[in-house]
């Protein structure tokens, strides 16, 4: 029988196109996160990050969480869930109020945040995050704590991530149908960035490319926050499908071929190494075929070429065009393909490294690869529990200093124009 849940318990749930994974961690003294249990099940009800089969997804969620509970020896009631489908939009919204030169008091900060909360209107989209990232004093950006400083104008920069509401509601309903409360639904790029990027990388500027099974998310971080993102409806599962189609075999066999023999780079020896390919149906009279490793890699590279072209296009659109000093971090299940970092470095003309989850103690070896970066990042996000403007109570009669009204209107207009 499972024991009562200990204090500081966090459960992360990543519902992807290929797998549903759960992680139970405990936040101990000093802020360290210790992993107590993990679980994983094949995902059969999610397509391109969207819930397509409620019953199948619910069953996978229940089984993954139950496996993590057995290992942890405890029962959990609520989870933090990652949202990795397309349609995410990210923006930095700025708001300023006049102070008249007096010292910044806590009430000034509270009023500023309430004003920003009241002005949030993403044009019909659902807001997943509305985090105040840093403050400004008389136009000086990057002030972490303005309390007690003198200023004529106090401002705040709010990082907002929004998406279409229906996919999020479907995800929420699916998890609640498994008898779990949803603490929060977190945009996957936000969580993944916490797991694989250092604070300095996020400050200096870095691009994160997460190759999932059905979706590849491209995120650009600058000044410590996620400044822009894009989703590409292509991923590692498309490579598997290409292999299955090209050589007339099943998806399961194609996945094994990709994992055990596949690579993003080719060598002269690959023309001589042979691979046995089983027929698509075992009861057919047709015998299996044999191909060279070079043939397999050629199919893989064709899909990777298309994917990297799309990634390059999105990086340019997100103003990440200058390759000088701009690093790319590759993560996600697709990043576990042999040689893919070297391939991406040549294709994109930039320094590329693999991103593995960090910041958790006792993380099992099987869950320490790029495929589980979002799961680990989700636990770190939950442990940090950053301030979200949506949780701030907005009174009916909100008093703002005279010049703030025009700023709020400009914020609202700018916000709507961006969505």
User: If you write DSSP's letter for every residue of 144-187 in order, what string do you get?
Assistant: S--TT-B-SEEEEEEEEEEE-HHHHHHHHHHHHHTT-EEEEEEE
CA neighbours closer than 13 Å in the CB half-sphere of residue 33: 24
Residue 281: both structure tokens together? 């149906």
Sequence-separated (6 or more) residues with CB below 8 Å from residue 115:
95, 97, 398, 400, 404, 408
Picking from 152, 139, 156, the residue whose alpha carbon sits closest to that of residue 103 is 152
Picking from 218, 238, 214, the residue whose alpha carbon sits closest to that of residue 228 is 218
Query: CA-CA distance, 82 to 200, in Å (whole number)?
Result: 24
Instruction: Yes or no: say if 136 and 109 are a contact pair by the CB < 8 Å rule.
Output: no
pLDDT of residue 396: 33
What stretches in the chain show pLDDT beneath 50?
1-2, 394-419
Query: CA-CA distance, 219 to 287, in Å (whole number)?
Result: 46
Burial of residue 34, with CB atoms counted within 10 A of its CB: 0-12 exposed, 13-18 middle, 19 or more buried: middle
Sequence-separated (6 or more) residues with CB below 8 Å from residue 312:
347, 348
Sequence-separated (6 or more) residues with CB below 8 Å from residue 260:
none
Residue 261: both structure tokens together? 């023999």
CA neighbours closer than 13 Å in the CB half-sphere of residue 378: 27
pLDDT of residue 404: 37
Query: CA-CA distance, 238 to 109, in Å (whole number)?
Result: 49
> Which pLDDT tens digit goes with each residue over 216-247?
999 999 888 888 889 999 999 999 999 999 99
CA terminus-to-terminus distance, the chain = 50
Query: CA-CA distance, 253 to 35, in Å (whole number)?
Result: 33
Query: CA-CA distance, 208 to 354, in Å (whole number)?
Result: 10
pLDDT of residue 385: 83
Picking from 276, 274, 265, the residue whose alpha carbon sits closest to that of residue 346 is 265
Query: CA-CA distance, 370 to 332, in Å (whole number)?
Result: 5
> Which pLDDT tens digit goes with each residue over 291-316?
999 999 999 999 999 999 999 999 99
């Amino acid at each position: 029988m499972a024991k009562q849940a200990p204090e500081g318990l966090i459960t992360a749930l990543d519902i992807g196109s290929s797998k549903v994974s759960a992680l139970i961690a405990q936040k101990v003294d000093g802020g360290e996160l210790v992993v107590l249990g993990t679980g994983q099940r094949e995902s059969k009800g999610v397509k391109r990050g969207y819930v397509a089969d409620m019953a199948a997804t619910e069953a996978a969620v229940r089984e993954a969480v139950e496996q993590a509970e057995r290992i942890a020896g405890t029962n959990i009631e609520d989870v933090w869930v990652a949202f990795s489908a397309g349609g995410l939009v990210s923006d930095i919204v700025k708001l300023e109020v006049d102070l008249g030169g007096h010292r910044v008091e806590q009430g000034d900060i509270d009023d500023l945040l309430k004003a920003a909360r009241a002005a949030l209107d993403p044009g019909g989209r659902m807001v997943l995050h509305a985090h105040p990232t840093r403050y400004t004093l008389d136009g000086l950006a990057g002030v972490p704590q303005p309390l007690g400083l003198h200023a004529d104008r106090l401002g705040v920069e709010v990082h907002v991530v929004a998406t279409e509401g229906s996919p999020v509601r479907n995800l929420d309903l699916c998890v609640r149908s498994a008898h779990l409360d949803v603490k929060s639904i977190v945009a996957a790029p936000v969580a993944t960035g916490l797991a694989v990027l250092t604070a300095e990388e996020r400050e200096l500027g870095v691009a994160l490319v997460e190759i999932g099974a059905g979706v590849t998310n491209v995120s650009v971080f600058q000044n410590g926050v996620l400044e822009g993102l894009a989703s590409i409806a292509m991923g590692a599962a498309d490579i598997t499908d290409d292999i299955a189609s090209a050589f007339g075999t099943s998806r399961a066999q194609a996945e094994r071929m990709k994992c055990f023999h596949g690579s993003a780079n080719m060598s002269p020896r690959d023309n001589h190494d042979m691979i046995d390919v089983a027929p698509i149906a075992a009861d057919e009279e047709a015998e299996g075929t044999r191909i060279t490793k070079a043939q397999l890699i050629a199919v893989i590279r064709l899909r990777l070429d298309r994917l990297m072209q799309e990634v390059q296009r999105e990086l340019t659109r997100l103003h990440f065009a200058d390759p000088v000093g701009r690093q790319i971090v590759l993560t996600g299940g697709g990043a576990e393909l042999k040689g893919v970092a070297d391939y991406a470095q040549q294709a994109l003309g930039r320094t590329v490294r693999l991103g593995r989850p960090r910041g958790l103690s006792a993380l099992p070896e099987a869950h320490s690869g790029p495929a589980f970066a979002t799961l680990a990042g989700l636990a770190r996000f939950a442990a940090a529990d950053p301030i979200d403007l949506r949780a701030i109570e907005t009174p009916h009669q909100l008093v703002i200093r005279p010049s703030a009204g025009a700023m709020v209107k400009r914020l609202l207009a700018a916000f709507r124009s961006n969505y």
